[in-house]
Amino acid sequence: MAVRNIRTLGEEVLRGVAKEVTEITPRIRELIEDMFDTMYEANGVGLAAPQVGIRKRIVVVDVTGEDPVVLINPVILQADGEQTGYEGCLSVPGKTGIVTRANHVIVEAYDTDMKKFRIEAEELMARALQHEIDHLDGVMYVDKVKEGELYNNEDLKDE
C-alpha cells in the first residue's frame, strides 16, 4: 500500500496513550498494511501505530521476515524470566541501548477479524512484543535503558 513517515523521539504522539480499536474499518485495514510496508522498508521487526502518527492500539511484528503478526488491543497477561540485551527503535534512529525485559510473555489480542487470540513468545519475539506494546502506552525503550547505556550505532560497529 504505502510507506508512512515514522515519528521520532520528541514528537508528542509517541508519548500519549493509544485508544482501543472497537471495529475493523477499511481505514484500519489500510493502516495495518501500511504499517507492515513501513516496518519492512525500514528493516524493523515491529511497529506500533503511534510510530506512524496514529493513536490506536495496533501493533505489527515480524521477527523472522516470514511470520507477520497483527495485534489489536494487545495486553500482556504473563511475563516471566529475564533477558538483557541491545535494543533499538525505528523512532530513535541511530541509537541502541541495553534493556532488561521478560524473556517469556503471553499476550492476548484481537486479530483483523476482531477474534481474540493468545500468543506465547520467548527471547526476541517476547522482547519485540513488550517493546511495541510499551509504545501504546507512551513508553519508549530509552525510558528503560540503564543510565549511561544508550549508544550511537556507529560506536558499536567494532563489537
Question: Between the CA of residue 71 and those of 3, 49, 129, 156, what are the distances in Å?
Answer: 19, 11, 9, 32
Active site includes 132? Answer: yes
Residue owning grid cell 534512529: 93
Burial of 101 (0-12, 13-18, 19+ CB in 10 A): buried
Residue owning grid cell 533499538: 88
- Catalytic-labelled residue, pool 66, 82, 132, 149: 132
Catalytic machinery residues:
132
